[in-house]
Structure 1
Amino acid sequence: MRHHWLLLGACGWVLLILMFASKFINFNFRVPDGGCGLPVTPVCGVDSSGKKGFVDYGGKPELLSWTDSAMKNIKASAAREPEKRPQPSSLAATGPATAETAAWQAVEAERLELLSSVCRNSSLRNLTHTPISKFVLDRIFVCDKHKILFCQTPKVGNTQWKKVLIVLNGAFSTVEEIPENVVHDHEKNGLPRLSSMSDTEIHRRLSTYFKFFIVRDPFERLISAFKDKFLQNPRFEPWYRHDIAPAIIRKYRRSHREEAPGLHFDDFVRYLGDPGRRRLDRQFGDHVIHWVTYAELCAPCEIGYSVVGHHETLEQDAPFILQAAGIERLVSYPTIPPGITRYNRTKVERYFSGISKRDVRRLYARFQGDFSLFGYERPNFLLN
């Protein structure tokens, strides 16, 4: 019996000791936050402000780096229904949207790095470097209110970007209200050009404003220019068919016995690929802007552009360009019809099917700078 009471007393002392010790033990453990790379659920990334940190995807960790998978994620996100896609103004507030922003920033950084690298390539200098002349300054539209410069590259969806600037300048409330004839009437659209300003004003704007332009596959752009100006001519510009087309035909058509009227695409290709075409270009004046190179239009090796958008990814690029310029809450880019910006290799092959390899190679030699500056693949299916 005595041993029984001793055993109960010992158990009591043990319980008292454990209760006393528990007050000094902290069972609340924190996940280390020592920096990027730790094995925790949030992953190392870049937020919308450009600061490094963690982005919680609410699932499997995923590194925010520029990879093929990152671009696929952007395209997949853009393919969602509009109402399910986060708006640019809210991108910094949610995890997935921040990831999308960071991925686009990485894509844009790679585009600008490629541009800079090709500009330093001395072997392509004649094809990539253009003096900042009045011709270039005439292409750059100004929005002083929001400190934006936009360089016009025709046949790459520029009409819609001009509408965006017109709204920002206050002439209209929305892009949908702007009549098409006003967009292209530079006396009525209220868009000043950089060439209209003094040297001091030009320098200040080039040094401090947000600057951007849009590109697309160079050969597909030429097809678009040919169709728009010489076949369809929706804006009824008679000089393309009555003045420019006959001048090209006289010099570059190989057989004048052909019955098909008007300018043929092979005539157009021979004209563009001819190093001696300068005399005709001077005769055509500013109308050549629809088919000269991006380098000649916007001088990207001389002007430090903030963003270069791509027509092929315009559905993804447009909202982020608005965000990068700080205007996403003020204006929206017009809705893009599905598939309209997609590269159409079948169309390119059809247009070039009857053109000699020699003429195609001469054309590529003329536009090689554009292919290289903006990362477009050499069209070996046409050249070889």
Structure 2
Amino acid sequence: MNKCIFIMRDIPACSKSLYFRFLLALYCVLWTGYLFLHLYYWPSLEDEKFLESWLKVQTERQALVEKTCLNKDDLQFGVPEIDLKNFVYEPHNNLLYCYHPKVSTSTWFQQILVNSNAPDEVKSNTSLHTVIPRLFTPKNLAYLRNHVPTSISFTMVRHPFERLVSAYKDKIQIFWDKVYDDKRKEILNEYGNLKFESFIEHVLHEAEKSCTRIDTCILDRHWQPFFSRCAYCQIPYSYLLKHETIEEDMRAMALITKIPFKSVHWNKSKGNTRDLVKEFFMRLNQTQIDALKRLYESDFQMFDYNPDFLLY
């Protein structure tokens, strides 16, 4: 714009016809618009190359989900009981998010809230897991279905065994979460301790009762299989993200949606994740490990996770 002002100032008075000034003003408007688009909307060459590569990965992830659904009759033809509490729809940015606890949920809740049109006093509320569901849980199934085709829909997953260890450490081993007092008492009464192997026995025992179908597995949401929460064979998500690639995925989402996503509340795992999972799973016997592989089999297949990768 300064360039335009400079040109206008130096034009001789005799040349400043109304028509010429109109053309020059139009040029200035177009030039300013070009600069605005270039700075704020058009990705750089580096960003374009990054997005091209990232979108190829997305195509591969979506193809694998589709393949898994086709190979599993219960997943393909079953009608899952969709729990609206698993979903967040933020209308200001048209975002539809199906979330899995212990999979960067706090990060995405924070991003969704700060970029919404909620009042500032609400955005400053640190009780994300109370505020977000209250504000953005779809009001009914019809409302959810109406927004699936037109929204920017996404979900994020994580290696099932890593998530299982994280859930144990956060909800069972550490006593800070009073909501899980009853769960800890239940495991104590059943097995006499709160060791990881007792927790796993509890999960497997509950799964025997509650996971009679592959598409419906009603376990605690912190270790419930992914496929039974987000109806992957019924909802064609725009983007499938992974905890392991959160920085790349968040960067790509920001470029595509023009929403300034930033990792402002990213709970990164402490230490070496693989060593941590290996340490906990060494306490289990082979029967328990095999049972866990069967429980999360569809998750491993659908999202290309190797069940043995973190164990050996």
Query: Which TM-score tier does this pair reach, normalised by the shorter chain?
Result: 0.7 to 0.9
Which residue in 1 is equivalent to 2:210?
278
Match for 2:227 among 288, 292, 295? 295
- Distance verdict in 2 for CA 1:130–1:163, change over 3 Å: farther
CA separation in 1, counterparts of 2:76 and 2:265? 30
Q: Does 1:185 align with 2:124?
A: no
- Distance verdict in 2 for CA 1:127–1:354, change over 3 Å: farther
Q: 1:161-220, CA deviations, whole angstroms, 9 ceiling, x for partnerless residues?
A: 112222233225699x63322x1214x7752212x2362x23211222111011111000
TM superposition score normalised by structure 2: 0.75
Decide whether the 8 Å contact of 2:90 with 2:116 is kept in 1. Answer: yes
Decide whether the 8 Å contact of 1:312 with 1:343 is kept in 2. Answer: no
Following TM superposition, by how much is the alpha carbon of 1:374 offset from its aligned partner in structure 2, in angstroms? 0.5
Match for 1:160 among 107, 110, 114? 107
Q: Percent identical across equivalent pairs? A: 23
- Distance verdict in 2 for CA 1:299–1:148, change over 3 Å: same
CA separation in 2, counterparts of 1:127 and 1:264? 33
Which residue in 1 is equivalent to 2:14?
none
Which residue in 2 is equivalent to 1:317?
249
Following TM superposition, by how much is the alpha carbon of 1:368 offset from its aligned partner in structure 2, in angstroms? 0.9
Decide whether the 8 Å contact of 1:319 with 1:332 is kept in 2. Answer: yes
Decide whether the 8 Å contact of 2:107 with 2:267 is kept in 1. Answer: no
Q: 1:299-344, CA deviations, whole angstroms, 9 ceiling, x for partnerless residues?
A: 11111111111101101111212333x242xx32224779749972
Decide whether the 8 Å contact of 1:138 with 1:193 is kept in 2. Answer: yes
Query: Relative CO higher for 1 or 2, CA cutoff 8 Å, sep ≥ 6?
Result: 2
Which residue in 1 is equivalent to 2:237?
305
CA separation in 2, counterparts of 1:337 and 1:192? 21
Q: Does 1:104 align with 2:54?
A: yes
- Which sections of structure 1, spanning at least 5 residues, go unmatched? 1-88, 257-261, 280-285
Following TM superposition, by how much is the alpha carbon of 1:131 offset from its aligned partner in structure 2, in angstroms? 3.3
Which residue in 2 is equivalent to 1:334?
263
| Counterpart secondary structure, 2:208 | coil
Amino acid at match of 2:130: D
Which residue in 1 is equivalent to 2:64?
114
CA separation in 2, counterparts of 1:229 and 1:293? 17
CA separation in 1, counterparts of 2:232 and 2:173? 31
Amino acid at match of 1:192: F
Match for 1:376 among 305, 309, 312? 305
- Distance verdict in 2 for CA 1:371–1:148, change over 3 Å: same
CA separation in 1, counterparts of 2:114 and 2:78? 31
> Per residue, is there more helix in 1 or in 2?
2
Which residue in 1 is equivalent to 2:167?
225
RMSD, aligned CA: 3.2
Decide whether the 8 Å contact of 1:273 with 1:365 is kept in 2. Answer: no
Q: Does 1:240 align with 2:188?
A: no
| Counterpart secondary structure, 1:298 | coil
CA separation in 1, counterparts of 2:56 and 2:165? 31
Query: 1:5-44 counterparts in 2 under 5 A?
Result: none
| Counterpart secondary structure, 1:289 | coil
Aligned length: 269
CA separation in 1, counterparts of 2:196 and 2:76? 25
- Distance verdict in 2 for CA 1:250–1:291, change over 3 Å: same
Larger radius of gyration: 1
Amino acid at match of 1:267: S
Amino acid at match of 1:131: V
Decide whether the 8 Å contact of 1:212 with 1:307 is kept in 2. Answer: yes
Following TM superposition, by how much is the alpha carbon of 1:289 offset from its aligned partner in structure 2, in angstroms? 0.7
